Structure 1
Amino acid sequence: MDALSDLLRRSRTSDADVRQLIQRPPWSMTFDEAPPLTVFAALGGPAVLRLDDRPDVAPADLAAGDIALVTQTRRHTISDDLGTAPQVVIRAGHKQLLGASEHHAGLVTTLAPRTYGDGLPGATTVLRGTYEPQGDAGRRLLSTLPPVARIPANPRTGAALDLLSAEAALDEPGQDAVLHRMLDLILVLALREGCAHSGLERPTWYRALSDSAVGAALERIHTEPAHRWTVAELAASAGMSRAAFAARFAELVGQPPLAYLTDWRMTLAADLLRDGSGTTVAAAARAVGYQDAFAFSVAFKRVKGVSPSRWGRETATSAH
């Protein structure tokens, strides 16, 4: 399994949410207590996005078909124009209306399931999908993204957005599962496009995926993280000498092979210990390839700064 697929799979949550607004200007919506990752897309018209709690981040202008991935903010506003005052604040799924009623009537009118607005000719459709990436895998995913990543319109994401917009207005059996998977698809397409063509700073491991030898080694590590990998074994499978492989891996990934392997194993172990299933330190150690719980504990503390037993207690407490 490649590194991006594995990271997305392990950070995935079951409570992704999709909503859309179909509204003529002027319109403006503020989202308070926002989740860690939000996906916005503007269809049929422009929009502008600002992070209200990040004045250091410039507003992002979205043309029709553009996507914005939003992180590192708890409060942001999307509108037709920066000069349009917010008409509604949404917090924990509840709408607080602002100003005179004639200014926000369309924003609260239900057109279809998960769909609001006036739905009139000339309206812009704004899609919003939210994620709560889980655990240390989720943290690693979010750490690769800037506060706002804008991905310009392109044919592949455009087709997916059109389909997501149509599906968001339906209410059929399995609809939540369909929407979740479609939102996953758009997130992956946006990350691909952003890293390949749109100036999004690529994580070191993402750059390595395009290298046949190092990309294959990363795939082996993510497919079998508990295997007792050695640099010599990974180098041999890549058809390279040990020294040449180690140097190339470190150059592209930013870490030596076994350091990357250890960090990824500790990410997996951290999520096992926090998931509430009562996983013991010894069980977590075995799951990520350590037969010796003491050696595992030493490695875990070196990477995470605390012992695995303390990590399990503290993260279980914070989760409740």
Structure 2
Amino acid sequence: MDVLSDLLQRAQATNALVRQFIAQPPWSVTYAELPSLSVVAALGGCATLRIDDGAPATLAANDIALITGVGSYTIADDPATPPRYVIRGNTKYVDGQAVGPGEFHAPRTYGDGLGGTTIVRGVYDLHGAVGRRLLDLLPPVAIVAATDRTRPALSLLASETAREEPGQDAVLRRLLDFVLVVALRAWWSGPDATPPSWYQALTAPGIGDALRLLHESPARRWTVAELAGSVAMSRATFAARFTELVGLPPLTYLTSWRLALAADLLRDPAATVAAVARAVGYEDPFAFAVAFKRIYGVTPSAWRR
């Protein structure tokens, strides 16, 4: 499994949620009490996006906005349209009063139901140290311009959002993952982004394969020589190339990944520190505790508390 796929799979504590609303202008909706990551797109028209009280940004048709780490955001047909209601969780509020989830016209679809602009919104509740690794890769809002790959992906997601058939939640989860990955690829290839070093290394001959091996078997007692042999490179060439592309030596990267996994495993009160140490490749709990404190500033037991 490649690094991005591994991050997405491990970081998602709860199922993704997908909703869409259809509105005729003037319209404006504010989303509060946000999950970790929102994926928002406008189909069939343009929209404006305002984060907290900041300046509005334009979402052209089929653009995708990736939103992280903000208190609220407002989507509207025009920056001058005043907020009409607020969504917190699955509840609609007007003038501070809960008025229910709104009028649904199809599964997961609410609003006017009369054509016009369709806003598709998917959210992820990411958690823990692994989730933080993913969120730290993005600014508070990243707007990805529509491409020939994003348009059909969004169209399929919108179509499936309004359906209710066996396995629909699984379909939507995978489609939202697809839209997210396509958007991340487009964002990191654009001029405004600085992709993480490991992302650029994923397609490098040998190095991408080595990263996959480390993520597939983080507890294995890897050596640089063994990794180099697994990808048919000399030890010296592999170590130099890995460090150049990833930004860390191979075993330093492995240690960082192991400890991120450990930080999340420690959230389980039933898992002992010794068990967590073994799960991420440390036979000696003391050595694990020393390495963990060096990275996170506290002992594993203190981190759990």
The alignment's TM-score, normalised by the length of structure 1, stands at: 0.89
Q: How many equivalent pairs are there?
A: 302
Q: By how many angstroms is 1:191 displaced?
A: 1.1
Q: Could you tell me whether the CA contact under 8 Å between 1:152 and 1:198 is conserved in 2?
A: no
Question: Which of 132, 139, 148 pairs up with 2:141?
Answer: 148
Q: State the SS of the aligned residue for 2:266.
A: helix
Q: By how many angstroms is 1:275 displaced?
A: 3.1
Q: By how many angstroms is 1:66 displaced?
A: 0.8
Tell me which residue corresponds to 2:294.
302
Q: Could you tell me whether the CA contact under 8 Å between 1:230 and 1:258 is conserved in 2?
A: yes
Q: Does residue 114 of structure 1 match 2:111?
A: no
Within 5 Å, give how 1:56-75 maps onto structure 2.
58-75=55-72
The alignment's TM-score, normalised by the length of structure 2, stands at: 0.93
Identity of aligned residues (%): 59
Q: Does residue 213 of structure 1 match 2:206?
A: yes
Question: Which of 154, 166, 169 pairs up with 2:159?
Answer: 166
- Partner Cα separation in structure 2 for residue 179 and residue 285 of structure 1: 36
Structure 1 segments of 4+ aligned residues over 4 angstroms from their partners: none
Within 5 Å, give how 1:273-284 maps onto structure 2.
273-276=266-269, 278-284=270-276
Tell me which residue corresponds to 1:317.
none
RMSD: 1.9
Question: Which of 253, 264, 272 pairs up with 1:260?
Answer: 253
Task: Letter of the 2:67 partner, please give it.
Answer: V
Q: Could you tell me whether the CA contact under 8 Å between 1:151 and 1:198 is conserved in 2?
A: no
Tell me which residue corresponds to 1:86.
83
Tell me which residue corresponds to 2:19.
19
Q: State the SS of the aligned residue for 1:155.
A: coil
- Partner Cα separation in structure 1 for residue 282 and residue 235 of structure 2: 23
For residues 178-204 of structure 1, the C-alpha deviation after alignment (integer angstroms, 9 at most, x for no partner) is 222221121112112222346432111
For residues 145-202 of structure 1, the C-alpha deviation after alignment (integer angstroms, 9 at most, x for no partner) is 1111111112222212111111211223332222222211211121122223464321
For residues 37-79 of structure 1, the C-alpha deviation after alignment (integer angstroms, 9 at most, x for no partner) is 00001101001111115x3xx5331111111100010211111
The structure carrying a bigger helix percent of its residues is 1
- Partner Cα separation in structure 2 for residue 93 and residue 245 of structure 1: 50
Q: State the SS of the aligned residue for 1:187.
A: helix
Q: Does residue 44 of structure 1 match 2:44?
A: yes
Tell me which residue corresponds to 1:95.
92
- Partner Cα separation in structure 1 for residue 221 and residue 163 of structure 2: 48
For residues 2-44 of structure 1, the C-alpha deviation after alignment (integer angstroms, 9 at most, x for no partner) is 1111111101233321111111111111111111100001101
Task: Letter of the 2:105 partner, please give it.
Answer: L
- Partner Cα separation in structure 2 for residue 190 and residue 3 of structure 1: 16
Unaligned runs of 5+ in 1: 100-104, 315-320
